[in-house]
């Protein structure tokens, strides 16, 4: 219950921050977001109807579509986030009345800070197990039927949305909207993954025991040995595997190269690490 309360608290905060970014920065500057929110903002400009109604109405079919594919927990959290977001947009719309929170703010600054705040809000929502964009759900569904990835489908949809925005809002606003979307996307990554990004490291060497021992002793990092066989040589080898922070990579390379200058090192991003490292007790 405590975990649910925490999740829904941050979903509420994230949805309200997202709504604030839309009404305090994007709407007054004629900028739009991607996905369903972008479509809703275009329809809002054309019809002058409430933006919150479009956000809720267009997202609703996608939420229903997600029940079979993504599970009830995700769907309920997403439905809740969309309701809070739509209500937040309506609330902030009545507060700002189409005016930017900072008077005479330059278009570029509106795009940058709108994207930062927007990305932070959406990042909180995704980090806590929900979504506010039906196009992502649609992409997951469609990718089963066509040969495009989820990312490619989302990109195609957003290219279409920003192209239409060029005709409705003007091409300058459409181009600045792309900047907003890019900044928001990068900010979301930071919120979801965290600043302390972890890296998984594979070291292929003939001195695995020595390197592994030094990594454990000098870096206080646990390692795992993986038995492998060379493709060309056919010789048996032991791979040293460990997970370290981004800041520990230079030290790990230094240790490895000091023992085996010819060692092969492969480094990959790790988005989430769970589990307890067991340390050997000293007698």
Res. 155: pLDDT tops 60: yes
Looking at the domain assignment, is residue 122 inside a domain? yes
Q: Report in angstroms the alpha-carbon separations of 11 from 64, 65, 125, 128.
A: 19, 21, 5, 7
Pair (70, 180) in one structural domain: yes
Task: Give the range of the structural domain holding residue 223, as residue numbers without chain letter.
Answer: 198-270
Residues 71 and 210 grouped into a single domain: no
Inside any domain, residue 178: yes
pLDDT of the residue at 130? 86
Is the distance from CB of 130 to CB of 55 less than 8 angstroms? no
CATH of the domain at 263: 3.30.70.120
Per-residue confidence band for 234, with pLDDT thresholds at 50, 70 and 90: confident
Task: Check: CB of residue 161 under 8 Å from CB of residue 42.
Answer: yes
Is 210 a domain residue? yes
Determine, yes or no, domain membership for 280: no
How high is the pLDDT of residue 32?
Answer: 93
Across the chain, what does the average pLDDT equal?
Answer: 87
Same domain, 73 and 174: yes
238: enclosing H helix or E strand:
strand 236-245
At 46-79, the pLDDT tens digits run 998 999 999 999 999 888 887 776 778 888 999 9
Q: Residues 29, 95: one domain?
A: yes
Where residue 197 falls among pLDDT bands split at 50, 70, 90?
A: low
Residue 142 lies in a domain: yes
Q: Are residues 61 and 152 in the same domain?
A: yes
Tell me: pLDDT of 280 over 60: no
Tell which of 175, 193, 211 closes a domain. Answer: 193
Tokens 């922070």, residue?
A: 245
Confidence of residue 191 (pLDDT cuts 50, 70, 90): confident
The pLDDT score that the predictor gives to residue 281 is 43
170, 193, 216 — which closes off a domain?
193
Q: Is the pLDDT of residue 273 over 80?
A: no
Residue 195, pLDDT above cutoff 60? no
| pLDDT confidence tier of residue 283, bands split at 50, 70 and 90 | very low
183 lies in a domain? yes
- Considering the domain architecture, whether residues 175 and 35 belong to the same structural domain is answered as yes
Report how far apart, in Å, the C-alpha atoms of 229 and of each of 153, 213, 236 are: 39, 21, 4
Structural domain contains residue 283: no
Domain boundary among 156, 174, 193: 193
The pLDDT, as a whole number, for residue 145 is 72
Looking at the fold, whether 249 and 228 belong to one and the same domain comes out as: yes
Residue 123 sits in the same domain as residue 227 = no
What domain count does the chain have? Answer: 2
* Sheet of strand 264-270: strand arrangement: 224-229, 236-245, 198-205, 264-270
Are 20 and 126 members of one domain? yes
- Same-domain check for residues 99 and 215: no
- Name the DSSP class of 128: T
Confidence grade of residue 261 (pLDDT, cut at 50, 70, 90): very high
% of the chain surpassing 70 pLDDT: 91
pLDDT, one tens digit per residue, over 94-140 is 998 888 888 888 999 999 999 999 999 998 998 888 888 888 777 77
Q: How many CA atoms lie within 13 A of 15 on its CB side?
A: 30
- Angle, to 10 degrees, between the axis of helix 72-96 and the axis of helix 2-21? 40
Angle, helix 51-70 to helix 35-47, in steps of 10 degrees: 150
pLDDT of res. 40 = 94
Domain assignment present for residue 147? The answer is yes
Write the CA distances from 50 to 93, 126, 152, integer angstroms: 9, 25, 31
For residues 158 and 69, state if they share a domain: yes
Q: Are residues 203 and 173 in the same domain?
A: no
DSSP assignment of 250-265 equals HHHHHHHHHH-TT-EE
pLDDT at position 86 over 80: yes
């Amino acid at each position: 219950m405590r975990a649910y309360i925490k999740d829904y608290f941050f979903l509420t905060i994230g949805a309200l921050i997202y709504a604030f970014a839309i009404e305090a920065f994007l709407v007054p500057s004629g900028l739009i977001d991607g996905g369903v929110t972008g479509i809703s903002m275009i329809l809002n400009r054309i019809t002058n109807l409430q933006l919150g109604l479009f956000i809720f109405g267009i997202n609703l079919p996608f939420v229903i579509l997600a029940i079979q594919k993504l599970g009830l927990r995700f769907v309920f959290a997403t439905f809740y986030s969309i309701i809070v977001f739509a209500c937040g947009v309506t609330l902030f719309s009545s507060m700002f009345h189409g005016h930017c929170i900072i008077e005479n703010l330059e278009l570029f600054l509106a795009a940058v800070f709108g994207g930062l705040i927007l990305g932070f809000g959406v990042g909180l929502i995704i980090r806590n197990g929900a979504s506010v964009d039906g196009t992502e759900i649609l992409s997951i569904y469609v990718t089963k039927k066509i040969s495009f990835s989820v990312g490619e489908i989302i990109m195609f949809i957003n290219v279409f949305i920003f192209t239409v925005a060029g005709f409705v809002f003007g091409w300058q606003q459409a181009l600045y909207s792309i900047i907003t979307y890019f900044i928001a996307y990068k900010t979301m990554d930071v919120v979801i993954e965290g600043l302390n990004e972890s890296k998984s490291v594979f070291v292929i060497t003939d001195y695995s025991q020595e390197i592994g021992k030094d990594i454990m002793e000098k870096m206080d990092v646990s390692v795992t040995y993986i038995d492998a066989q060379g493709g060309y040589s056919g010789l048996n080898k032991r791979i040293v595997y460990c997970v370290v922070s981004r800041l520990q990579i230079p030290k790990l390379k230094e240790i490895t190269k000091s023992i085996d200058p010819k060692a092969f090192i492969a480094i990959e991003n790790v988005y989430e690490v769970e589990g307890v490292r067991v340390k050997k007790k000293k007698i």
